[in-house]
Amino acid sequence: MTTNQGHTSSGKYMYTSAPGGQYGTMRCANCGKQITEGQYRVREKPDRYVTWHRACCRDDQQWSVIDKQAANHKAHQLLLLEAAKSFRERWGVADLDDLIDDLEANFPVRGPQ
Ligand SMILES: [Zn+2]
Q: Tell me whether residue 1 is in a domain.
A: no
Detail the DSSP E strand segments found in 1-113. 8-10, 13-18, 38-44, 49-53
Convert the pLDDT of each residue in 48-59 to its tens digit.
999 999 999 999
- Give one word for 32, left, alpha or beta, with left for phi > 0 and alpha for psi -120 to 50: left
Ligand 1 centroid to Cα of residue 53, in Å, is 4
- Look up residue 105 and give its DSSP letter: H
Ligand 1 centroid to Cα of residue 49, in Å, is 15
The residue among 16, 39, 57 that closes a domain is 57
pLDDT attached to residue 111: 59
Q: Tell me whether residue 81 is in a domain.
A: yes
Q: Tell me whether residue 22 is in a domain.
A: yes
Average pLDDT estimate for 57-67: 96
Q: Which residues contact 20 (CB under 8 A, 6 or more apart)?
A: 4
Ligand 1 centroid to Cα of residue 20, in Å, is 17
Q: What is the pTM of this model?
A: 0.68
The H or E element containing residue 8 is strand 8-10
Range of 25's domain?
8-57
